[in-house]
Chain A
Amino acid sequence: AQKITQTQPGMFVQEKEAVTLDCTYDTSDPSYGLFWYKQPSSGEMIFLIYQGSYDQQNATEGRYSLNFQKARKSANLVISASQLGDSAMYFCAMREAPQGGSEKLVFGKGTKLTVNP
């Protein structure tokens, strides 16, 4: 079963507008972490933001914020004031600790964001 679901294969947004990228997750562990990464066309993965399951407030990092709704198991990324350089693939990921194994990150399939001038 898929642990991380990103239902939007592609999204378009006008420059300077805000955009929300969806992410839902599935876990029975009470302690987990959620991450968002950006992958430009160059291929390198860039860490954007992190939310712990026990964090009381939504995480924010500059123009990035994470809309964390624990009961709905969603961790949507909000990018405010979009810029042309925000055009990239965006991946949601969850830290999980499988029984008998070590912690690892599981990634969703990604959302391709295009910012139009």
Chain B
Amino acid sequence: DGGITQSPKYLFRKEGQNVTLSCEQNLNHDAMYWYRQDPGQGLRLIYYSQIVNDFQKGDIAEGYSVSREKKESFPLTVTSAQKNPTAFYLCASSKGRGANVLTFGAGSRLTVL
């Protein structure tokens, strides 16, 4: 079955450490997205990519980095520069380069100790 796989599902990190969240899709979708979700805040866009080797900053990109070396993969690194990284992170993809219907992964919950 096609879909999006995010790993790990739960992650704990000490302050000052970088951490990378994995996102893999086998839907052959062109566009991929990373959202952050905090209680009462809804979803906020971190980074997105329409094609391989290209990505754009979303609304809250500071303290995060991404890469898009392969069509099916869009990892997100939460760096030590991110002041409040504890959150639920959702990866999504869509067919074509426009923002069409998004298919989401199950999410990764990051907790900074």
Contacts and interface: CB of A to CB of B under 8 A. Distances in A.
Looking at chain A, what size class is its interface with the partner chain?
20 to 34
A55 to B, nearest CB: 15
B82 interface: no
B107 to A, nearest CB: 4
Majority secondary structure of chain B interface residues (helix, strand, loop or mixed) = strand
Interface residues of B, number: 28
Contacts of A106: 45
B113 interface: no
B43 A47 contact: no
Interface of B: 31, 33, 35, 40-45, 48, 50, 56, 58, 88, 90, 92, 97-107, 109
Interface of A: 6, 9, 33, 35, 37, 42-47, 50, 91, 93, 95-96, 101-110
Given A104-B58, A105-B102, 14 more contacts: A33-B99, A35-B101, A43-B88, A43-B107, A44-B107, A45-B104, A91-B43, A102-B97, A103-B98, A103-B99, A106-B45, A109-B40, A109-B41, A110-B42
